[in-house]
Structure 1
Amino acid sequence: MTRNNYIEKVAIVGAGGNLGKHLTASLLATGKHSVTAITRHDSANVPIAGVAIAKVDYSKQETLIEALKGHDALIITMSVTAPPETQTQIIDAAAAAGIPWIMPNEWGSDNDQKEYQRDTYLGAGQEKVRNYIDAKGCFNRLVLTCNFWYEHSLCSSPVMFGFDAEKRQATFYGDGTVKINTSTWNQCGRAVSALFSLPIQPENENDKSLTLQQFKNKSAYISSFFVSQKDMFASLLRVTGTTEKDWTISYEDPKQRYAEGQKEFASGNRAGFGKLLYARMFYPEGCGDYEAKLNNDLLGLPKEDLDEATKRAIELAQSGYMYTRP
């Protein structure tokens, strides 16, 4: 239990990353939280202004424990290529430091979609981490289900949503009309800050307001858009001022594309993981649709403009941001 009935001090691993920056900015914008960036002692990443920096040496667990002491919550955002033992080490340190709330490095698809989790090789690892956290017996665990990040997925590589805005190429999975939930980094930041701004538990037995405790060991489901590839393409046309005639358009069976991604990944091509991951989401069965579970309204999240998000995605790609890892 924190000193008060709210989250005040938040530690973030990966505060300088693409997602971490948005989480940090949103938390600071509330005026209710202080944020500490947990960084490697030799890291060159610079978090945004207003963030305390705690440099640690991962070969010395005591430095990590000391950096985490006194915090009410820990958020972990790391590359999926980071060694699994790194997150375990961080969890161990958080337990030793007495942190009561933790968000593990799990930002994505719906855990209830077991076949998707199995087919994309994500489920077993994430479940192992959740079980490891719960077995500690000292944490309140939070997970944000946000599906694919829109800006990251739209234009940084055609293995994702199927578009190459620079080359004016579009690849549709099936007929391109399967809809999925997808979230912007901004919306993820707003969601986390909304969660951590809630009172932890009811003030009294008559208090029926929303509390953080209601999300304990559960997923908070959020989304920016419920869209198909065709919807995304229409936005791309509007933002770029082009027409379909300006693009090279192709269609692929998502199951065949998934199989190709499997073979590529098995051969050592990491881009194959991205291909299978995204192709599997666009199967006709609708494993990327969790509209009925959304907590957007509950958390007071705003409606977003699809074209504005598409413009940000294009600008991101033009800045040199590219998909280079699974």
Structure 2
Amino acid sequence: MAQTYASNQPQGFENHIKNVAIVGAGGNVGKFITEALLKTGKHHVTAITREDGSNVLPAGVNIAKVNYDDQSSLVAALQGQEVLVITMSVMAPPEQQNKLIEAAAAAGVPWILPNEFGGDPLNYEIGNDIFLGATKKKYRDYIEQLGKSSWIGIACGFWYEFSLGGGPERYGFDFKNRTLTLMDNGTIRTNTSTWPQCGRAVASLLSFKILPDNEDDASPCLANFKNKCVYISSFTIGQRDMLDSVLRVTATSLSDWKVTHTTAKERFQSGQEELRKGNMAGFGRLLYARNFFAESNGNFGATKGLHNDILGLPEEDLDEFTKIGIQMSEERPPY
């Protein structure tokens, strides 16, 4: 297919994104995406919320109330939107994202960022092992099948502060009891991102031009990422790096901690066993452990490269977000 340029578009074509709709604008990562979009001053942001939604939304956001049992309300909310950003729990009803995708197609929304915030969605080996890959692919395929929108996936790895402070089934840390389950001596590195970095990445991406101006224009644009992934990372680190940061932040020494050693594969298998027993904590255990396998892990930056520089993302302070993760562990029970 021949490259399309802004210079050969019909009169009146505007080569930038103005109107962005977001599902989950008051949620974990959604709040940071919404705030970052507003901060650019380039976007009108609309939060798609349930009629009975109670989340506190950032100031400056338009609100569109919808009923997921009434598809016409979804279509109406998405009229005139250029991008639909979907952020929701993996536990959300699967048909909910389908309804949003269908409504976006009916409303003529050209771009969708599906609920892809996590590991590399194109790593089908890991995706199959953690039971999420096929489902996420189905949503991307459905967007292409309907033929009205294009998707862009955001591969950011696990959220660092959320994962560090979320209990021992994630990155292995139990701050209350000062214990750590260390996999393969903690040397396997993975990509992990903070919520603010995810927000900045989406805002920067949606601030790109939509199309190159002409054949001589090599600046980044949305068209470069059509039906592809954007790869970002705050830190490329292993459990040992996290531990070093934890020791600095807590002013403790290794002797203050009880460290249990295992392998990522053993931990993955134990997670499978717990899940088979009906213990959902086993899912979290296998999900995280799988990304620390020595031969195939969550370090997509090593195999795919990162788009941090293109997006203008800053370097972050690991200890700052380690502190936030520890605070999160104290403020709410792990889940």
Query: What TM-score comes out, normalization by structure 1 length?
Result: 0.96
Q: Distance in 2 between matches of 1:323 and 1:201?
A: 44
Q: Secondary structure at the match of 2:91?
A: coil
Q: Could you list the runs of 5+ residues in structure 1 that have no partner in the other structure?
A: none
Q: Distance in 2 between matches of 1:182 and 1:319?
A: 22
Q: Is the 8 A contact 2:165 2:334 kept in 1?
A: no
Residue correspondence of structure 1 range 156-235 to structure 2 within 5 A = 156-235=166-245
2:290 corresponds to 1:280: yes
Q: Secondary structure at the match of 1:302?
A: coil
Q: Could you list the runs of 5+ residues in structure 2 that have no partner in the other structure?
A: 1-8
Match of 1:143 among 129, 145, 153: 153
2:253 corresponds to 1:243: yes
Q: Is the 8 A contact 1:179 1:286 kept in 2?
A: no
Matching residue's letter, 1:212: L
Match of 2:313 among 287, 298, 301: 301
Q: Is the 8 A contact 1:178 1:286 kept in 2?
A: no
Match of 2:88 in 1: 78
Q: Distance in 1 between matches of 2:176 and 2:211?
A: 49
Q: Secondary structure at the match of 2:311?
A: coil
Matching residue's letter, 1:117: G
Aligned CA distance change for structure 1 residues 91 and 112 (closer, same or farther; 3 Å):
closer
2:328 corresponds to 1:316: yes
Deviation at 1:194, TM superposition (A): 0.7
Q: Is the 8 A contact 2:189 2:299 kept in 1?
A: yes
Q: Distance in 1 between matches of 2:155 and 2:71?
A: 30
Q: Deviations over 1:9-59 (max 9, x none)?
A: 100011110000010011011010111110100111121111111111111
Q: Is the 8 A contact 1:176 1:229 kept in 2?
A: yes
Q: Is the 8 A contact 1:173 1:251 kept in 2?
A: yes
Q: Distance in 1 between matches of 2:174 and 2:182?
A: 12
Q: Is the 8 A contact 2:165 2:327 kept in 1?
A: no
Q: Report the identity percentage.
A: 52
Q: Deviations over 1:250-284 (max 9, x none)?
A: 11121111111112112221111100011111111
Q: Is the 8 A contact 1:171 1:251 kept in 2?
A: yes
Moved more, 14-23 or 206-215: 206-215
Q: Deviations over 1:111-149 (max 9, x none)?
A: 342221111111111111111110011112111100100
RMSD: 1.3
Deviation at 1:3, TM superposition (A): 4.9
Q: Which 4+ runs in 1 deviate beyond 3 A? A: none
Match of 1:124 in 2: 134
Deviation at 1:286, TM superposition (A): 4.0
Q: Distance in 2 between matches of 1:269 and 1:217?
A: 36
Query: What TM-score comes out, normalization by structure 2 length?
Result: 0.94
Q: Secondary structure at the match of 2:88?
A: coil
Residue correspondence of structure 1 range 42-57 to structure 2 within 5 A = 42-57=52-67
Match of 2:5 in 1: none
Deviation at 1:68, TM superposition (A): 0.9
Q: Distance in 2 between matches of 1:113 and 1:63?
A: 35
Q: Distance in 1 between matches of 2:154 and 2:334?
A: 22
Q: Secondary structure at the match of 2:92?
A: coil
Q: Distance in 2 between matches of 1:314 and 1:132?
A: 39
Q: Deviations over 1:131-175 (max 9, x none)?
A: 111001111211110010001110211100000122211110111
Aligned length: 323
Q: Secondary structure at the match of 1:108?
A: coil
